[in-house]
Chains A and B, each alone.
Chain A
Amino acid sequence: MKIMIVDDEQDVEILFLQKFRKEIKNKQLEVEFAFSGEEALKKLGDSGSPDVVYVFSDINMPGMSGLELLENIKAKFPKIEVSMISAYGDKENYTKAIKSGAKGFFTKPVDFESLKHEIAELLTKKLN
């Protein structure tokens, strides 16, 4: 199963790779990274029918924001689940995200346990 992380902070990649070290090692999980909304769309679009099932995106990024990316993904690839990660747990962004079809809304600092839980749920769903 492949998920995608979108964040303008480069170190997020290493962080995720380490956090999901075991899952990646077991080949249960594949993680792709994009450092902007534009890059994410490009990576998703290039693979035709993308094998990415879940996108976690930061909201505040230069250029395309996470919310815009969410709308774009939902329009092009309605099957992909998208969750937002934001440094600001404001209501406005939250309602906007949920309205636009986001599955979840995580605030920074990310609680990796709940993220793992979310992904584990996804994995079991897939196995079933």
Chain B
Amino acid sequence: MILVNIISFFLLYYLKKFFGGENFSPELKKYFKFGMLGAGILALAGITKIPPKLLFDFLSLALAGGIIFLIINSPELEEQKNLAVTPLPILVVQVVKFILETFLPSYYEVIDKYLAAAGFFAIIWAVTMWLNHRKEMKAIQIERMISKEKERQLFLAQERKEELERLVRARTSEIQNQKEELLQALNHLKSTQEQLVQQEKLASLGQLTAGIAHEIKNPLNFINNFAELSEDFLKEIQEEVQKENGQMDRENLQDLLEDVKSNLKKIRHHGHRADNIVKSMLMHSRGEKGEIKNTDLNALIREYTNLAFHGMRANPNPINVEIALDLDESLKPILLNAEDFSRVILNLTKNAFDAMRDKINGVSSDYKAKLEIRTKELEDKVLLEIEDNGPGVPEEIKDKLLMPFFTTKKGTDGTGLGLSITHDIVKSHGGSLEIQSKVGEFTRFRILLPNSAT
């Protein structure tokens, strides 16, 4: 019976050590304490053989039964229920032995050997069960650790995810703000650019004003003079007609009439000329965009080269320059926005005049400034070349020439937009602009336009 007490003690000790602690209710702890104490006292009592054997056996079995009952009925020990089964065969054997010993001693003598064998097997069973239980517990423990770790990882991942989401949100709003700011800056830039383009337009109109005034003055002078002359001639004709028959100089009369007739033609011609100049000036100064239509490129070149030349002559620091037009007369009208394209001619001729002025101021007096403008009809393109024999463009700034705000002119002489706008206009016509130059010799702007002549 001492064995039963040792098992009781061991069961309690084992459960307390490995599964006790926080999980146990105070009540359960109390049971364990008294159980262990009871088992210890009983074991000691058994060894000393002080109590009567019957009482000792009964108490021992009752304690063991109580412990098994406790294990099965405590929710805290749910997982350890199997442990209750472990000592059960031993207990059964002991109970049978106790009953037989107490109530049927004659029987006991007969089956004592069998009971001993059963007891032995019960111990083996108990040990096996116990080992099994240990193994199970370990597996459960490992599983629990794994799931705990998993939970921890999940929690960390969740936390990291939240942190990332927070960062993304912060960054997104930052980017959104930046986008707004950039959009505002872009709009601002756009309106500034429009203003600058308009300013550049007005600046080139300003340069033209003198040329235009000169150009208008010429036809007006002709109109006045031819009108005045015609008046004189008509007076003379009147006098001639009023002469007596025979004295009339028919030849003179004929000549005078011819002159009057030709003068009226001249007046009309120069009237048209002035009208066209005013029209082109209006076209140039209007803010609205011109329209693309069939345009005589050669005529446009003649008109605007002339305006640019006289504009330059009438502005401060005029230079003497030979203008050589080599225009392909077989060229048919091509699709152009005449208003825009006139600025290409104005900008490039002005650019040439400015470059040649620099050379005139810089080199010996035998330099003769010359501006050549050529047109040529190619297979599917129209070539326009504007070439000056000015100082040329150094290779390192050639690429920068077409960039907005790039200027070699000092102070307020240049906006740096002329060539950039020129390039834009050529591109908007589906054409290309190339700069060829040799320092000290020439600069040639080569424009290729689609040949849209039909």
A and B form one complex: yes
- A interface residues, Cβ below 8 angstroms from B: 9, 11, 14-15, 18-19, 21, 60, 62-65, 68, 87-88, 108-110, 112
- Contact between B323 and A15 (Cβ–Cβ < 8 Å)? no
Q: Which residue of B lies closest to A16 (CB)?
A: B225
When chains A and B are docked, how far (Å) is the Cα of A87 from the Cα of B318? 14
Q: Give the secondary structure class of A's interface.
A: loop
When chains A and B are docked, how far (Å) is the Cα of A110 from the Cα of B222? 10
CB distance from A72 to the nearest CB of B (A): 12
> Please, could you name 27 A-B residue pairs with CB atoms under 8 Å apart, sorted by A?
A9-B218, A9-B222, A11-B222, A11-B266, A14-B262, A14-B266, A15-B222, A15-B225, A18-B233, A19-B229, A60-B310, A62-B309, A63-B321, A63-B322, A63-B323, A64-B322, A65-B320, A87-B217, A88-B214, A108-B217, A108-B218, A108-B221, A109-B220, A109-B221, A109-B224, A109-B225, A110-B221
- Contact between B222 and A62 (Cβ–Cβ < 8 Å)? no
Q: B32 near A: Cβ within 8 Å?
A: no
- Contact between B225 and A87 (Cβ–Cβ < 8 Å)? no
Q: B259 near A: Cβ within 8 Å?
A: yes
Q: B341 near A: Cβ within 8 Å?
A: no
The size of the chain B interface, using a CB distance under 8 A, is 24
Q: Give the secondary structure class of B's interface.
A: helix
Please indicate the chain A residues that have their CB under 8 angstroms from the CB of B266 in the complex: 11, 14
- B interface residues, Cβ below 8 angstroms from A: 214, 217-218, 220-222, 224-226, 229, 233, 259, 262-263, 266, 270, 309-310, 313-314, 320-323
Please indicate the chain A residues that have their CB under 8 angstroms from the CB of B226 in the complex: 15
- Contact between B217 and A64 (Cβ–Cβ < 8 Å)? no
- Contact between A60 and B313 (Cβ–Cβ < 8 Å)? yes
- Contact between A87 and B322 (Cβ–Cβ < 8 Å)? no
When chains A and B are docked, how far (Å) is the Cα of A50 from the Cα of B120? 160
Please indicate the chain A residues that have their CB under 8 angstroms from the CB of B313 in the complex: 60, 88
Please indicate the chain B residues that have their CB under 8 angstroms from the CB of A110 in the complex: 221
When chains A and B are docked, how far (Å) is the Cα of A19 from the Cα of B222? 12
Please indicate the chain A residues that have their CB under 8 angstroms from the CB of B314 in the complex: 88
